[in-house]
Structure 1
Amino acid sequence: MRIKSIALLLAAMLLFFTAAGSEEFWPITATDDLGRPVNITSAPERIISLAPSNTEILFALGLEDNVVGVTKYCNYPPEVESLEKSGKIAVIGGYVDPDVEKILSLKPDLVLASDISINNTIPSLEKVGVLTYVVESKNLSGILTSIKKVGIITGKKAEADVLADEMESRIKAVSDRSEALQKKRVLYIVWHDPVKTVGTGSFEDEIIELAGGTNIFHDLSGYPQVDPEAIAVRNPEVIITCTGMGEGVDLPFQWAKTDRSLNLTDARNNDQIYQAEGDIITRAGPRIVDGLEMFFRFIHPEAS
């Protein structure tokens, strides 16, 4: 059922393309993920990305030669760093606080933003005529749709179709395999002090379900804080921790492996505690399917 809904949404996304023609026929009017109509007169040649996920989409579509600016958190693919060092790509600041003056100095004809910029950066850019397009996916089907949208507005429709179809096929392969297996109770730990997990409405919650698990905090929403005692009561069979930042990269994993509050959980007793790279599982880009396949291996190692 979920895979059918993904296919239906991919078909429905064609409604966003309101002008006659395709990527070869300009101008077009495209509706971004906030429902804003964006008029694009020609294929963009100088693109700035205000989110790591957008950068990953652009590079996956073969647009690395068109990207002139990224945030300091855009660290994938590896070519980004080498292009920064060579001066072909500039760093325009952070994800939350990009440098508008720096962006303007790069003379972009398209800025791919996220909804975090809607109240500050985007108005500042649009005030001086810079074209902005918001990409903000909320689930896996939304990611596939966004990739196809970006493909159309950048003149890379064929490449985007191939990428989205490949991702959809891999998602279906995992879903088909997991449907034949008994679901396991899963806890995903975003951070350990205090303990933050995931609930409905998060990428991780959907991925846990597709990978053959049941999120023990599915009844909560977003990224809630929970007590260790509540974890013990719900008794996860599998615990997956997110990598931390900087020197704390392994802290959530070490907490899950050693904290006394989890001593009686099935996950601890059966040594089913794993660490997942946060960038892969939280970014709304092509690597989200890598995250799904990784979760399947963690949740069902017996079938991997």
Structure 2
Amino acid sequence: MRIASLLPAATEIVGALGLADDLVAVTFECDEPAGIRERRPVVVDTALPSGLTPGEIDAVVRDRAARGLPQYELDRDALHAAAPDLVLTQDLCRVCALPESTVAEALTDLEIDAHVLTVDPHTLDEVLDAVAAVARAADAEPAGEELVGDLRARLRHLDDVLADRPRPRVLALEWVDPPFLPGHWVPTMVRRAGGEPLAGVEGGRSVATRWDDARALAPDVVLVAPCGFGLDDAVAQAAVVREQLPDVALVAVDSASYVVRAGPRLVDGIEAIAHALHPDAVPAPPPGRVRRLEPS
């Protein structure tokens, strides 16, 4: 089957199912399986300029949304040449990936007769369901059952390890300028990692807040998980949080790979955060995933 993945999370799922060789098109953000965007045509790119600060990104995104401009660009010629049988897309967040409506319009215009699967999980359980759905659409249901079973087993093991431990009060931030409280599966990730999430809407969208309100929550730990950024950038952006909450421990995490991307590596992210919160109970993850920054 020829699979076009227009969503990094879907590309990750396809790779985890052992179907990377079936991919015929990916996006500029697809980095899992490693090296996939160097081996396959990139049919989705960003419409945003490079080199912006978090505050500048927020301003540009808001401006383009207000003017009805897209955040992403679709290479229709490359998609047509890929001739996919299955197209994986999303309609969860127009800021995070190409929206389903743009994909549907392009497929109609290009006369591409492909099955389209829209992957729109809002919760951790729905992410696991999405893994199974991609497996079914790609005729790889047994591989999907095995993968989801392994992920659920790891989560159950973590629940057992952390069951009787004190839970630190955790404020997760998905952006720092301005600060955004978490949505969708992130509060659940904090809870499964042995923390008590202080704010955010489970299954809902992330929402902006004020630093005064963040301080009023009196967190023990702030999880710095800026959407789309890796660990080094999260550590750098933690300096903004440190200015606002100088006496609170910070946990910076590779959010792009392990927090905001709705794929199998969310479980890796939960395990990494759990180690940062409970280092004496949960083994350290591989380097590059998470870093705890104590107050000076």
Give 1:135 deviation, angstroms: 1.4
Q: 2:185 aligns with which of 175, 182, 203?
A: 203
Give 1:172 deviation, angstroms: 1.0
Give 1:176 deviation, angstroms: 2.2
How many residues matched? 245
TM-score normalized with structure 2 length? 0.76
Would you say 1:145 and 2:129 are equivalent positions?
yes
Contact conserved, 1:207 with 1:292, CA < 8 A, in 2?
Answer: yes
Query: Residues 82 and 101 of structure 1: is their aligned pair in 2 closer, same or farther, counting only changes over 3 Å?
Result: closer
1:6 aligned partner: none
Query: 1:234 & 1:154 partners in 2: Cα distance?
Result: 45
Cα deviation 1:20-60 (Å, max 9, x = unaligned): xxxxxxxxxxxxxxxxxxxxxxxxx2110000000001111
Where in structure 2 are the equivalents of 1:120-269 lying within 5 Å?
120-126=102-108, 128=111, 129-199=113-183, 202-218=184-200, 222-243=205-226, 245=229, 249-257=234-242, 259=243, 261-263=244-246, 265=247, 268=248
Rg comparison, structure with higher value: 1
**Mind listing any 5+ residue stretches in structure 2 that lack a counterpart?**
47-71, 283-296
1:94 aligned partner: 45
Query: 1:240 & 1:255 partners in 2: Cα distance?
Result: 13
Would you say 1:77 and 2:33 are equivalent positions?
yes
Give 1:134 deviation, angstroms: 1.0
Query: 2:190 & 2:23 partners in 1: Cα distance?
Result: 33
Query: Residues 219 and 138 of structure 1: is their aligned pair in 2 closer, same or farther, counting only changes over 3 Å?
Result: closer
Give 1:291 deviation, angstroms: 0.7
Contact conserved, 1:50 with 1:98, CA < 8 A, in 2?
Answer: no
Q: Tell me which amino acid in the other structure corresponds to 1:122.
A: A
Q: Tell me which amino acid in the other structure corresponds to 2:238.
A: F
Where in structure 2 are the equivalents of 1:7-156 lying within 5 Å?
45-83=1-39, 89-94=40-45, 96-115=72-91, 116=94, 117-126=99-108, 128=111, 129-156=113-140
Query: 2:134 & 2:206 partners in 1: Cα distance?
Result: 28
Give 1:151 deviation, angstroms: 1.4
Q: Tell me which amino acid in the other structure corresponds to 2:156.
A: K
Query: 1:100 & 1:53 partners in 2: Cα distance?
Result: 21
CA RMSD of aligned residues (A): 2.2
After TM superposition, the structure 1 stretch with the greater mean CA deviation from structure 2, 116-125 or 187-196, is 116-125
Contact conserved, 1:205 with 1:218, CA < 8 A, in 2?
Answer: yes
**Mind listing any 5+ residue stretches in structure 1 that lack a counterpart?**
1-44, 84-88
Q: What's the secondary structure of 1:48's corresponding residue?
A: strand
Would you say 1:283 and 2:261 are equivalent positions?
yes
Give 1:298 deviation, angstroms: 1.8
Percent identity between the two aligned chains: 25
Query: 2:126 & 2:262 partners in 1: Cα distance?
Result: 9
Q: Tell me which amino acid in the other structure corresponds to 1:239.
A: V
